[in-house]
Amino acid sequence: MNSFQTTFGSLQDYEKGGIEIVADNPMYYAFSNIFEVANQSAPYEKVAVAVNLGYVIEAVRIEGQSGWYAAPHDEFAIVMDGEVEVHFIKLADPAAAYTDDSKGSIPLAAQPAGTPMGRVVARRGHQVLLPEGAAYRFTAHSVGVMLIQTMDGPATVHKWGQICLK
Amino acid sequence: MSTAESIEVQASAPSNQTGYRSFTLGGFSFSRDEYFARVSWTAKGQQMSHSMSADAFLRAMMRDVAWGFFYGWVNFDPVIGTRNHYGTVDMYAGSYYPAYRDSGLDHMENFDSRLMMATFKAILDDWTNEGFDPFAAPEEAGDGWHGKKNGHNRAAIERAREACHRMPGLPGDASLRSDANGFPINRAFADVPQDAPEVYAEPGFEAEVSAFNLFAFLSRSDVTWNPSVTSVCGRSLACPTTEEYILPIKHGNDRVEWFVQLSDQIEWEIEDKHTGSPRAKVLMKAGDVAAMPADIRHQGFARKRSMLLVWENATPNLPELYESGQLKPWPVEF
């Protein structure tokens, strides 16, 4: 009989760890919890929970339908709680969405012109490629959480003082 | 002993007593007996030596080899270890242990990475007996590590670190794990759902509309404390791994790295990188995110096999930027 139970977190059920300081500053660890962050976020608010010289991991509350985004580089989404559907459009004119210097997820004002590429339905543990040169939009029928691996962009929200242990 | 790259590894004949070879790398000597691995060096004209239980030594050396000496320092224990300079590697004994260093009894030497890798692989090959897997969790590792030399376990020690170019499952990229390609679900993750995402790609976009079950992929990892690469965004690498029992080395950072605890929990002991002095203990539970600053060494403890996303920045000049003080050792100020 398997006696192991794997514990994943969710918006409704998570435990946060912590830091025991011996001779250190807890702020150096920028310690947060993605479920706690998402519980305090607006739908599709892209809150940086990890940053490394221009690269970020964002915790995103998935709820309802997002706007359209595109990026000049690959991004990746990992669903940590709930279910999300992602629709993709191959951009007819990427230059209308972003410049060569753009970084991160670029919010688009409206559905862009282009060719429908397909869609993905992802649940907890699933990782989705958000490919360079494609626009994408998320739809969730209930509340959940995903991580986005991307670059620090115009939609990235930095509120470290609100989310990290001090 | 000569490798395929014509790098000369200095090895003795097998011992008449134990069957194990001894090895020399510069001023360091490596030997093992039934229970212990021993590293020897000379300092201030004095012969010095340091012993570790052979299983702990092999677990540590296995990671150092598999990770290609990794980012920064790989401390086998408080006394011996390696530091990666990306092309060359330092081997040290006591150099980050104040009692040795302050009395001048430490020793550090820099080697071409290829020579050190060939030597370490030869040691692993000779000292790992049949019935011991230094990559595995204690319940799966077997107890064949002790005693006199008894065969090999090359299948275990020659596993390659899995690294995708973009994302596993894409055409031409790393494979997904399955029963069919030799990755059954690990006993500790038998309850992890194996469902696949629903992917509906329009014709011509099959290589771009793609997804896979990362948690199922991790549930099928046959090793512990060995990150794979499962997504690449520029220089940003997602390196998830499964962790059980104790990280066999203390990793000293030469850059900031980040941990995202995907499942279960890990306790991290944090020490000063240069002295080993305790700084903090970080307890991470599912959903927790924490930075590991660039001036620490850390060792993890996981009572149950867990999933950890290690997030690395592979920008080439990062060590110099931190070493010179151009970058602070912590990632963000608030």
pLDDT at B282 over 90: yes
In this structure, the strands spanning A75-81 and A83-91 are unpaired
B226 CA to chain A: closest CA distance, Å? Answer: 19
8 A C-beta contact, residue A54 and residue A151? yes
What pLDDT digit, counting tens, does each position of B165-194 carry? 999 999 999 999 999 999 999 999 999 999
Determine the average pLDDT of the residues in A91-116.
97
Domain range spanning residue B109? 10-156
pLDDT at A3 over 90: no
Residue B231: C-alpha distances to residues A57, B4, B274, B309 (Å): 12, 32, 32, 11
Q: Which of B238, B283, B286 minimises the CB distance to A8?
A: B286
- Average the pLDDT over each of B70-79, B151-160, B300-309 and give the range with the smallest value: B151-160
Task: Note the pLDDT of residue B6.
Answer: 75
Confirm if B235 and B315 have CB atoms less than 8 A apart. Answer: yes
Which residues from chain A sit within 8 angstroms of residue B242, using beta carbons? none
Is the pLDDT score of A1 beyond 70? no
ipTM value: 0.98
Q: Do A127 and B265 touch (CB under 8 A)?
A: no
Distance from CA of B13 to the nearest CA of A (A): 46
Q: Residue B114: its pLDDT value, please?
A: 97
| Among the partner residues B187, B193, B285, nearest to A4 by beta-carbon distance | B187
Minimum distance, in Å, between the CA of residue B206 and any CA atom of chain A? 9
- Considering the domain architecture, whether residues B84 and B167 belong to the same structural domain is answered as no
Instruction: Write the pLDDT tens digit of every residue in B86-134.
Output: 999 999 999 999 999 999 999 999 999 999 999 999 999 999 999 999 9
Q: Is residue B5 part of a domain?
A: no
Q: Structurally, how many domains does chain B consist of?
A: 2
pLDDT confidence tier of residue B3, bands split at 50, 70 and 90: low
Shortest distance between the Cα of A109 and any Cα of chain B, in A, equals 23
Residue B141, domain member (yes or no): yes
Q: Considering only residues 28 to 67 of chain A, which have any Cβ-Cβ distance to chain B shorter than 8 Å?
A: 28-36, 49-53, 55, 57, 59
- So what's the pLDDT on residue B329? 98
Q: Is residue B199 part of a domain?
A: yes
Q: Pairing state of beta strands A156-157 and A46-52? A: parallel
* Cβ atoms within 10 Å of B2's Cβ, excluding its own: 9
- Asked if B238 and B145 sit in the same domain, the reply is no
Nearest to A74 among B233, B256, B313 (CB): B233
A70/B contact by beta carbon, under 8 A = no
User: Which one, of B228, B237, B218, lies nearest residue B305 by Cα?
Assistant: B218
Question: Which residue(s) pair with B82 in the sheet?
Answer: B74, B91
Please name the member of B189, B256, B285 whose beta carbon is closest to the beta carbon of A17. B285
Q: How far apart are CA A36 and CA A57, in angstroms?
A: 15
Q: Is residue B231 in a domain?
A: yes
What are the DSSP E strand ranges found in B190-295?
198-201, 211-213, 231-233, 236-246, 250-252, 257-261, 265-272, 278-285, 288-292
Q: Does B186 share its domain with B281?
A: yes
